Amino acid sequence: LLDMVWYTESMHAGIPVIILDRHRLQEREKPGLELAVVSVPSYACQRHTPLLHHNTTLTDALSILAENAELSENEGRGVAFRRAAALLKSLPQEVRGAEQLRGLPCLGEHSLRVIKEVLEDGVSHEVETTTHSEQFKAMKALTGIFGVGAKTADRWFREGIHTPSDLQRSGHTLNRAQRAGLQYYDELNLPVTKSEAVAIGQIVERAVHAVLPGAEIILIGGFRRGKQTGHDVDFLITHPDEGREEGLMPKVVSWLEAQGFLLYQKTTRNSYLESKEGPARPASNMDRFERCFSIFRLSTDNEGREIQTGREIQTGDDPQTYSPTLTNTDPHTHSDTHPHSKTDSHPLPQTLVFPKPQTSDFPRLPQTPDHAQKVSWVLGHSQCSGPRSWRAVRVDLVVSPYSQFAFALLGWTGSKLFERELRRWAVHEKAMTLSSHALYDRKRTQYLRASSEEEIFAHLGLEYIPPCDRNA
Ligand code: DCT
Ligand code: MG
């Protein structure tokens, strides 16, 4: 049978999952053979999804349709395309014909139609139409501005604004995030490399240890999953003595600002409170931690390598850019307060945890991230004459209490779809509520504690999936 096995998944609910290639079975004319189990787990959090996979042509097509649906605020449709793409990413071989997909979950009618078209004609008409559509191009360009979401972009598009340059000319009043987004548009749409992420990690480590020795800093998000580039760099910060992390963010931000490392920042307070009746439904999955959305100024030497020095704040810079803010509201809104904290200085060497580099012998790399392909809009004030010695990089910092650390780590490693699927699994299959803070068992009406990601997977009755296989 072995040469006919097309797909094997270690275990699903205790059953070995094997997919046999029906085609080859028929070719070999073995009528007596019975197909064993033909099933692939339907939740992405039950599957291993590596970064490099065999079906990039198909997943690229589905991702464009997903993005278009998300930009049109059709979340359900977007998720359906993302689920279909994630299924294809988890397959161990290239799909050559639609008949190979029979019986697989997550493939809706619409996705299957697109897949079939790409397999047969090399392209999908709908994908082609979408990528050439003026609205899609404009929405991508406008939401590519830091601080601009689909709703705002859509409003501007209807007013005839299609590009960041149009927006700049329009005279619209922009909030602080959007102004920074426009100012650093080109750079923020360049992928951040792994080595830039590492260089920023060293700066963040210096800042955190200067104000809280013994704190732990972990690179999260896409880089923890083994990605070599990202649209930003995400860090999770905690301290083994619970309570020591309280109020940490304003101190870190002050240190970074004093050293000239920040071009923009906005900090939100931790608003998470455990209640006896279980977690209330949060306004968003991500908004209850002490969190800082920032734009770093990463120095580079003449060859473009990252170096770690900051710079003195220069007169003439927008003073607002350098005022620390702490609010409890939407990170992309405008209200600023000034909660400056005193900075202590206790330099102490600590370990920074970075993911192992991902190795693979796959023949084709996945397509460059969308943001790398964005058109470079010429914005007067972001242009520079001659080589510049620094670049702007989006950095997200999150502080978590130690007791919530495993949940924060799991929730912030991603991918977004993997996280969504974990939460869906928890609710529908286990009657539990999972967030980046806690896991609540609704049947036993109690919180389930965990000090590692492995324990959370165990509570959820799931096989442990390592970060490099969460690229759904
Ligand atoms: N996240 C999530 N749901 C969201 C947004 C984020 O679960 N709506 C989690 C998963 C990833 C993590 O937060 C960091 O978010 P991003 O930086 O947006 O994602 P990424 O995977 O790091 O992507 P990139 O490599 O492009 O930064
Ligand atoms: Mg990220």
Based on the residue annotation, tell me whether 234 is a catalytic residue of this protein: yes
**Ligand 1: lining residues by beta carbon, under 6 Å:** 221-222, 227, 230-232, 234, 285-286, 412, 414-416, 419
Q: Name residue 236's beta-bridge partners.
A: 218, 398
Q: Using the 8-state DSSP alphabet, how is residue 301 labeled?
A: -
Please enumerate, by residue number, every residue annotated as part of a binding site for Mg(2+). 232, 234, 396
Mutate to test the pocket of ligand 1, among 82, 225, 286 (most ligand atoms within 8 A of CB): 286
Contact between residue 430 and residue 443 where contact means Cβ atoms under 8 Å apart: no
Q: Name residue 352's beta-bridge partners.
A: 217
For the stretch 283-288, contacts whose Cβ atoms lie closer than 8 Å and that sit 24 or more positions apart, written own/partner, are: 285/411, 285/419, 285/423, 285/435, 285/436, 286/411, 286/436, 288/435, 288/436, 288/437
Cα(337) to ligand 2 centroid in Å equals 27
Question: How many helices, marked H, and strands, marked E, lie in the chain?
Answer: 17, 14
Q: Can you list the alpha helix ranges (DSSP code H) found in 12-159?
A: 22-27, 56-71, 75-89, 109-121, 125-132, 134-143, 150-158
For 409, the token pair is: 């780590």
Cα(221) to ligand 2 centroid in Å equals 5
Looking at residue 417, its amino acid is L
The ipTM estimated for the assembled molecules is 0.98
Cis amide prior to 299 (ω within 30 degrees): no
* pTM beyond 0.95: no
Cα(235) to ligand 1 centroid in Å equals 11
Residues, beta carbon < 5 Å, ion ligand 2: 221-222, 230, 232, 234
Backbone angles phi, psi at 268, to 5 degrees: -115, 150
3-class state of residue 224 by DSSP? helix
Q: Would you give per-residue pLDDT tens digits along the chain (472 residues)? A: 444 455 544 444 444 455 555 555 555 544 444 333 346 899 999 999 999 999 999 999 999 999 999 999 999 999 999 999 999 999 999 999 999 999 999 999 999 999 999 999 999 999 999 999 999 999 999 999 999 999 999 999 999 999 999 999 999 999 999 999 999 999 999 999 999 999 999 999 999 999 999 999 999 999 999 999 999 999 999 999 999 999 999 999 999 999 999 999 999 987 777 777 778 655 455 557 899 999 999 998 755 577 765 554 333 333 222 222 222 323 333 232 222 232 222 222 223 343 333 333 232 333 333 333 332 333 333 444 567 899 999 999 999 999 999 999 999 999 999 999 999 999 999 999 999 999 999 999 999 999 999 999 999 999 999 999 999 9
Cα(286) to ligand 2 centroid in Å equals 13
Based on the residue annotation, tell me whether 396 is a catalytic residue of this protein: yes
Q: Which of 154, 166, 186, 234 is catalytic?
A: 234
